[in-house]
Amino acid sequence: MDNPVICSSCVLPSTFPGIKFNDQGVCNFCQASPNKTDLALIRNKLKDQMKQTIQEASGVKNRSYDCVVAFSGGKDSSYTLSLLVEEYGLKCLAITIDNGFVSEQALANCRTITSKLGVDFLLFTPTPKFMNNMYNRSIENPEQIHSKLALTRASSVCNSCISLINTYMIKVSLQQNIPIIAGGYIGGQVPKDGAVMKLDLKLQQSLAQGKLEKFQKAFGPNSNDYFAISDELLKTNQTITLINPMLTVAVSEEEIIDRIKKYGWIKTKDTGHHSSNCRLNDLAILMHLKRYHFHPYVAEVADQVRAGTMTREVALKKINELPKIEDLTEQAKKLGLIL
């Protein structure tokens, strides 16, 4: 297809769903975005909400942990964990899901950083047979599994993985009476108001039921093991709050890396341009591009340009430097895909 038109302010292409341009070539998403001053006020308001949530939940006697953290060993979740421990004083349980494609360096980063921060670390490894099938089906039939909105924020592969991770975090939170679940998501990956969200477990289960049926149809009956929450756990009536601290700060990638290097974090060399932990990510990017003609990270990168934490030039470079298909034969073979 012809080269798409690119927003003159951010990096969203004309192939991005729902996009429109004014006479100056500025997209409707940029036009609707608050200016940098207002964005700072929004971040501060979200930060105050998050602080209040943390104060209410932390320091309760006879509780092993204040917060369970979805910890990939990547740069954003490493930065998030350091904030929660050092700036908010939370006692955290860091959990990593080994999806079969986690870089060895990322796993080493997980162990190094949790050790330096004095955080308990749990590694959960779902069966590779299920995970590989899940990724294969996600690539083959993304619209049957995930909403159109979700597919503007991430590839189908990443959406499936995130759903599994989120479910596991909720299960652990309920099992161990942990009131806060933290993620390392940044703008463009989750809704802008996602810094603090009270989780309505009954509503969550109701919404999850429809998604679970899709997963069962796509991934098989074993989906219940990874995407269902038992009625017994839900009967606890526990209050859970989801927080994403990265939505309350304006930091560049360079600033993030500078901070986490202090804890021994080392950049991976085998995870491509957009991931700092997963070796499957580049394949997911190419499959998404092939089907939808826009990069699955473009919304996230465009959001960083609007926030002023990334220049448009750097953003364009990130989006345009694509992985080479010949470098991904190992991952494709593992999933049973023919490239």
- Is 113 a member of any domain? yes
Structure tokens at 144: 């049957």
Among 59-63, 120-124, 137-141, 300-304, where is mean pLDDT lowest? Answer: 59-63
Tokens 């995970």 appear where? Answer: 131
Give tens-digit pLDDT for 235-281: 777 888 999 998 888 899 999 999 999 999 999 999 998 999 999 99
The whole-model pTM stands at: 0.93
pLDDT at 78: 97
Residue pair 170/229 in contact by the 8 Å Cβ criterion: yes
CA–CA distances in Å: residue 96 to residues 110, 183, 203, 277, 305: 8, 11, 26, 11, 29
The mean predicted confidence, pLDDT, of the chain is 91
Give tens-digit pLDDT for 177-215: 999 999 876 654 455 555 788 887 776 666 667 788 899
The pLDDT > 70 percentage for the chain reads: 94
pLDDT at 227: 92
Residue pair 14/7 in contact by the 8 Å Cβ criterion: no
pLDDT at 184: 78
Give tens-digit pLDDT for 34-80: 988 888 898 899 899 889 888 887 767 778 899 999 999 999 999 99
Taking phi over 0 as left and psi of -120 to 50 as alpha, with beta for the rest, 21 belongs to: beta
Q: Partners of 242 in the beta sheet?
A: 181, 197
Alpha carbon 285 to chain centroid distance? 14
pLDDT average, residue stretch 14-21: 97
d(CA 324, CA 321): 9
Q: What is the 3-state secondary structure (H, E, C) of 262-278?
A: HHCCCCCCCCCCCCCCE
- Is 4 a member of any domain? no
- Is 148 a member of any domain? yes
All residues at 6 or more sequence positions from 307 whose CB lies less than 8 Å from its CB, including other chains: 36, 39, 187, 250
- Is 32 a member of any domain? no
- CATH assignment at residue 244: 3.40.50.620
- Is 80 a member of any domain? yes
- State the DSSP string of 67-100: EEEE--SSHHHHHHHHIIIIIS---EEEEEE--S
> Roughly what angle, to the nearest 10 degrees, separates helices 128-140 and 201-219?
80
- Is 19 a member of any domain? no
Number of domains composing the chain: 1
- Is 41 a member of any domain? no
Which residue in 112, 238, 87 sits closest to 96, CA to CA?
A: 112
- Is 133 a member of any domain? yes
Q: Which residues form the domain of 162?
A: 47-335
